[in-house]
Structure 1
C-alpha cells in the first residue's frame, strides 16, 4: 500500500486543486498566486504521461496547459494566450476529451478576439463547434465571442450565421 502523498491518485487530486486555484486566482487578477498554482500544477502534471480522468477529474500536462491559457485571458494578457494557443490547437494534447479540446478552442477564440484577430477568433470558434458542438452551442464564453463577431460581421460572414443560429442567437 502506498503512503499518502505518493502516486498517481495524489497527483491527480492535488493537481486538480491547483488548477482550481489557477481559475480563482486569475479571475481575482492575482498574477503571483496564478503563477504559483500553475507552477505547482505543472510539476504534478509532469508525473503523468498523458491526461487521465479519475474520480471525474481530468488532470495531466494537457489540461494544465489549457488552464494556463485561460489564465492568460483572465489576466488580460491575450497576446500571450494567443501565442500559447497556436501550437495547442494545431496538436491538441493527447488524452484530452472533445469537451476539453472544445474549451481550448473557446479560450483561443476569446484570446484572438481580444487581440482583434477576428478571423482567427472565428476559426477557433468553428473548431469548437466541430469538436464539441453541443458545448459550443451553449457555453457562455463561446456565445459571447460569437455575439461580438456576429455584431461586427453579420452580413459578410455566412459561417457566423450558421453558428449563431445553432446557438440560438439568430433566426
Structure 2
C-alpha cells in the first residue's frame, strides 16, 4: 500500500521535521500518546479541532498542517491575484447586464461545487464588478464586488490558500461597507472563516459576536434574519471545533430561531440561509462534539434532495456522516457516505481535508480488498 494523502499523514512529517518525538508532541499538545500514534498511522481520523491543537504545539497554522491543494490552473490563480491587486485601479466599466451575467454564472458554478469553473471565471468577474463600482459608486454595484470577493474567499478556503483568502476578505469588507448591512454581515462571516481555516477558533468567535451585535440592529427584518442566521451558523461551527458546549448551544439556538423565519432555504450569491442549511451545520457540530448518533439521525433531513441545498452543502454533510460512522467503527457505512460526498461534489471531495483524511484512514483500516474503496481511491489518485 502506497502513501496516501490526508492531514493525519502530515502530522508525522511536520513532527519529524521539528525533531519531536511522539511523546514530546503529545505532551506539548496535551493529547494522549495513543491517539497521536493512531492518527499518524491512519487508524484514527484527525479532526480539525485536534489538528489545530497539534498545529499550535508544532508552531504551524492549521492550514499548513492540513496541506495546500493544487489549483486546477495556476495561471488563473496568478491572474486572479493580479486582478485583486488592481482593486483601486479600475478599468473600463462594463454594462450592468454583463456584470449580472458574470456573477450569475459564477454563483451557479459555486453552488454546483465546480471549483475549476469558478476559478476560470473569477478574474473576469472581479475585474468587471470592481471597475463598474468605482465608476458608478452605487451601493448595489459595491454589493456585487462584495459577492465576487466572497466567492474568492470561498475558493481560496477550499484549497487552503490562506494568503489569498485573507486578501479577499479585506477587499470584501471594503466593498461591503460601501454597500449595505447584509453585505457587511456576510463579510464578517467570511472573515471569521479565515480564523476557522487557520485554527484560531476563539478569534473567529470574537469576530462573529461583534458582527451579531451590529446585525441585530438591521432595520429590514428579512435582511436581519439572513444576516443573523449566517453569522450564528459560523459561530456554531467555531464553537464546535473547540468543543465549547455552552457557546455551541447558544449559537445553535439562535440559528434555529432565525431559521424559523424562512419557509425555504434562500441563496445569497452562493451562501445558503434557512432551515435545511442550519440542519447541515447542526450535523457537523454534533460530529465535532462527538454526538455521533444524533448526527446520523439528523442527517437524512439535511441531505434530502427536496431541501434544494447546493452541492457545496450536501457533500460536506455526507463527509460528516462518514466521520460519525467511522467513529462508531462502521467502516462500510462510512465508505458509503464518503462515496455519496464524491457523487455530490467530486471536485470539492478531491481537495477537502476531511475527504482526504477519511479516505486515508479507510484504506489503512481495510486489511482486505474492497472494490468500492479501490474505485474511490482510483478516482482520488491514491494508490492502495
| Residue matched to 1:14 | 228
CA 1:93 to 1:19, structure 2 compared with 1: closer, same or farther past 3 Å?
A: farther
Alignment match of 1:129 (pick from 333, 337, 342): 342
Mapping of residues 17-36 of structure 1, within 5 Å: 17-36=231-250
Alignment match of 1:148 (pick from 361, 368, 371): 361
- Cα displacement (A) at 1:92: 4.2
CA distance in 2, matches of 1:141, 1:101: 14
Task: Tell me the TM-score normalised to structure 2 length.
Answer: 0.42
Alignment match of 1:159 (pick from 372, 379, 384): 372
Alignment match of 1:43 (pick from 250, 257, 264): 257
Task: Tell me the TM-score normalised to structure 1 length.
Answer: 0.89
Q: Is the 8 A contact 1:103 1:128 kept in 2?
A: yes
| More displaced stretch, 54-63 vs 34-43 | 54-63
- Cα displacement (A) at 1:118: 1.0
**Runs of 4+ displaced beyond 4 Å:** none
For structure 2, the residue ranges without an aligned partner over 5 or more in a row are 1-216
In the alignment, does 2:314 pair up with 1:101? Answer: yes
Q: Which has the higher contact order (CA 8 A, sep 6+)?
A: 2
Larger Rg: 2
CA distance in 1, matches of 2:231, 2:295: 22
CA distance in 2, matches of 1:52, 1:117: 34
Aligned with 2:307: secondary structure?
Answer: coil
CA 1:55 to 1:7, structure 2 compared with 1: closer, same or farther past 3 Å?
A: farther
What is the aligned-residue RMSD (CA, Å)? 1.8
Deviation string 1:66-121 (CA, Å, 9 cap, x unpaired) is: 111111111122222122224434x2451200121111111111111111111111
Alignment match of 1:73 (pick from 277, 287, 294): 287
CA distance in 2, matches of 1:162, 1:154: 16
For structure 1, the residue ranges without an aligned partner over 5 or more in a row are none
Alignment match of 1:116 (pick from 329, 349, 356): 329
